[in-house]
Structures are given as structure tokens and as C-alpha cells.
Amino acid sequence: MRILVIGSGGREHALVHALSGHEVHVAPGNPGMQAERHEVLVDDRSAVVTLARDIDADLVVIGPEQPLVAGVADALREAGIPVFGPSQEAARLEGSKVFAKEVMATAGVRTARSKRVTDPDQVKVELKNFGPNFVVKDDGLAGGKGVVVTDDVREAVAHAKAVIADGNPVLLETFLSGPEVSLFCLVDGETVVPLLPAQDNKRAYDNDEGPNTGGMGAYAPLPWLPEDGVQRIVTEVVEPVAREMVRRGTPYSGLLYAGLAWGADGPSVVEFNARFGDPETQAVLALLDTPLADVLYATATGTLADLPPLKWKDGYAATVVLAAEGYPESPRKGDPITTSDPTLLDDPSRVLHAGVAASATSTDDAAARYVSAGGRVLNVVGTGATLADATADAYRTIEQIELPGSFYRKDIARKAVDGEISV
């Protein structure tokens, strides 16, 4: 199969690696990906269609949210090209948090109480109806960094006003207690097939301190989740939303990511994403035994219900993000990435490239070929029979990599390993 993957980050590298064995193209990709790369603006509908036609793609897989919200999947479908990714209208589940709230209300899905605010002068007034933990969200795409959770009303007001000043409405929400769960589900109309549950760590620093980020690490599956946890999420959240989208005449096709908090009453939705999440994908796909191409193609062609049950490898997987100095506010770029093992940076089973570029002084030595080009630079993946083994494997690898000024969290999955998470 000839497959075109759209995107350039660690999530897309994980997808490219999981699709190996097929002829894989990526646009625009990054130098660390072992696939044929093409330059394209990911949200340019006509350019993506033209590229897919030029390479005679059997399947297009859209990684990031921007092209989905821009309607790239619609353009590909109109051209008769199978595409893994929802329509522009269906992608509003991620593109507009207010729209997602409307769908959940109609579908009877538990979520936080919320208020949409567009007037900066009303922010402080409306915040009195929330708290003591304030949740302030950008009602648009913000790359996982548009949310502030704080008990400081001044910080909440400042973030809300900044979002409005940037031209987006703001959503004020009640705080949902309980450990968070990320569940990816393949959705084809009313057919829902869950992947393994995962948990990511959003805060920049250990002990969940520092600003929110796009994610500093993740692990899968979740040893603390109830035995019926995945099925409850499917039954109580994803299936009702899928049915409601069909009822609205905009059936969902692709990957629906449900971010949830597991409270006293079970799962409540924090957010939806219309694509694979980053960095959970890096951990989840490391454990998938069923060929990914078969899974994505079945979803894209409306035959997901005919797919045999997914098969998974035994054990656990974890990923740790190596971030550039200054991330997430102002990451430094252009620093060399080095390692004592010249094969390490070209082993996608251990290291996935996210924010990287080719070194201007490139040599045949893999340890000198890459420089940082983004905030989250590398995703290091570890696997093992136990969660402790998987995280230890990831940390052994990341300790071999040098990037000036970089940092990473030292406590990915630690609470789960130590048995400190319960529901």
C-alpha cells in the first residue's frame, strides 16, 4: 500500500514507523523520519490533494488538527482518495469546545459545567461562578497549550483576557477531579473500536509543576483503571457522541480522542481531539500488534465493523519528551543533538523525532546530523513487562542523549508505578 502521512512531529514519526513495510510518504515530515518527504502546507487543501494524486496514494493519514479543521479530509474524499481523518464539520469536536459541549449535552455525556465569554470585562464577573480551581480554555486550536488550571483568580483573568485579545472566545469550566485518562477510539459512523488507554503528563516539570504543555510524556496501558473502564468510556461517552454526529448528518470517520477525568461517578469528558494525541500515540502504537495500515484503511473505507479484534503486545510502554530550553514559552532552536551511540537517533523503536532539523554541518555520524527545531524535540520510547520496566527503559535511553539546555520530566508514570493513583 502507498500511504501519505500529513504532519511533521513525533506523533507523525510514530505513525510512519508503525506503517513501515508499506511505501510511506510524509509531508512535510522531518529529517529523522525514514520515509520519502515532500514539502507541502498541511492545511492547503488543493496542495495536499495534488500531492496525493502525484504519488498515487492508496491512503492519506492526517496527523495534526489544523488540516482537519481546515477541511483537508473533505477535499481528499471529494477527490476519491481514502483518508483517515474526520470531515471539517466533524472535526469541530476539537476545533470548537463550545460545539463539543453542545454535542455532549444532546448525547447525555458527562462533562464540566461551562460558560462561553467574549467580553473581557465580563471575565472576572463570570469567574465568580467557578472555582476555587479555575479552568480557562481557549475555544480554538491551541496545540494543547490553551488551557490554564489555577487557584489564582488573577492568573485566570489574565489568561482569559489574553485569549479574547487574540480573537478567540474563552470557555470557563468547573474543575473535574480524578485521574485523567486518554482513550483513542477508531470511529466509523456508529462503529467504535477503542485502543489502549493511556495517561499523559501535561505540566512542564516534575510533580505536575510549571505551565501546561502539549505533553511531556505518557504511558499505556493504565494499571489503575477499573477492568470495565475502557468499555464504560466507549458506552457512556464515545458511542453516544458517534450516534449524535450521525443524527446531525455529519458522521465521524477517523480517530476520536477522549480526554477524561475519572471521578466518583466514573468518566467525565475534559476535551475531545479529532486525531491521534501527542505524546500518547508514541506509547500506544509501540504496543499495537495488528498492522496499523489495515486498521486505518478499514476506518477510512467504512469497513471498520468487519475488522478482526485488535491484537496487542504484552506489557507496557512509556514515552518521555526531551524538550528544548525555554519550552513552552520560547524554546531555543538550532542546538546540536548528540549521543555516544551513533545508531540511537536512527532507531525509531527507541527515539522518535519531533522538533528537529538537519544540521548545517551534517556528517555521516548520526550523532551530529540533527539540531533542535521546536519545543518538544525528541520522544524516547521504552517498553517492558511491567510499567516500571518500561519507564526504566525509556530513561536509560534518554540519558544517552545530549542537547544543550534541554530538560525532561523524571517522573513519567511514577505515581502509577508507586500505586498512588486509584479510582
Whether residues 164 and 232 fall in one domain: no
Whether residues 349 and 264 fall in one domain: no
Whether residues 157 and 194 fall in one domain: no
Residue 365 falls inside a structural domain = yes
Determine the residue type at 18: A
Q: The C-alpha cell of 24 is what?
A: 510511506
Whether residues 128 and 226 fall in one domain: no
Residue 381 falls inside a structural domain = yes
Q: What is the pLDDT of residue 3?
A: 98
Q: Residue 31 belongs to a domain with what CATH number?
A: 3.40.50.20
Question: Taking 70 as the threshold, does the pLDDT of residue 80 lie above it?
Answer: yes
Q: What is the pLDDT of residue 363?
A: 53
Residue 97 falls inside a structural domain = no
Q: What is the pLDDT of residue 83?
A: 98
Return the higher-pLDDT residue of 336 and 362: 336
Whether residues 135 and 82 fall in one domain: no
Q: Which residue has the cell 473533505?
A: 74
Number of structural domains found in the chain: 4
Q: What is the pLDDT of residue 328?
A: 95
Q: What is the pLDDT of residue 133?
A: 87
Residue 55 falls inside a structural domain = yes
Q: How confident is the model at residue 32 (pLDDT cuts 50, 70, 90)?
A: very high
Whether residues 331 and 278 fall in one domain: no
Please tell me the pTM assigned to this model: 0.92
Q: What is the pLDDT of residue 166?
A: 86
Q: What is the pLDDT of residue 422?
A: 92
Q: What is the pLDDT of residue 199?
A: 98
Distance between CA 411 and CA 253 in Å, rounded? 35
Q: What is the pLDDT of residue 144?
A: 53
Q: How confident is the model at residue 44 (pLDDT cuts 50, 70, 90)?
A: very high
Whether residues 211 and 231 fall in one domain: yes
Question: Taking 70 as the threshold, does the pLDDT of residue 145 lie above it?
Answer: no
Q: Which domain holds residue 71?
A: 2-87
Question: Taking 80 as the threshold, does the pLDDT of residue 180 lie above it?
Answer: yes
Distance between CA 26 and CA 247 in Å, rounded? 35
Helix intervals (H) in 19-152: 45-54, 65-69, 72-78, 92-95, 97-107, 123-127
If you average pLDDT over residues 304-316, what whole number do you get? 98
- What average pLDDT is seen over the chain? 94
Question: Taking 60 as the threshold, does the pLDDT of residue 23 lie above it?
Answer: yes
Long-range CB pairs of 412-417, under 8 A, 24+ apart, other chains included: 412/201, 412/216, 412/217, 412/218, 412/219, 412/318, 412/319, 412/320, 413/199, 413/217, 413/219, 413/318, 413/387, 416/199, 416/219, 416/222, 416/223, 416/224, 416/387, 417/387, 417/388, 417/391
Q: What is the pLDDT of residue 367?
A: 53
3-state helix, strand, coil in the chain (%, to 5): 30, 30, 40
Residue 400 falls inside a structural domain = yes
Query: What percent of the chain lies above the pLDDT cut of 70?
Result: 97
Q: What is the pLDDT of residue 271?
A: 93
Question: Taking 60 as the threshold, does the pLDDT of residue 364 lie above it?
Answer: no
Whether residues 238 and 298 fall in one domain: yes
- Of 127, 147, 168, which closes a domain? 168
Q: What is the pLDDT of residue 41?
A: 97
Q: What is the pLDDT of residue 419?
A: 97
Residue 142 falls inside a structural domain = yes
Query: What percent of the chain lies above the pLDDT cut of 90?
Result: 83
**Peptide bond connecting 82 to the previous residue in cis, omega within 30 degrees of 0:** no
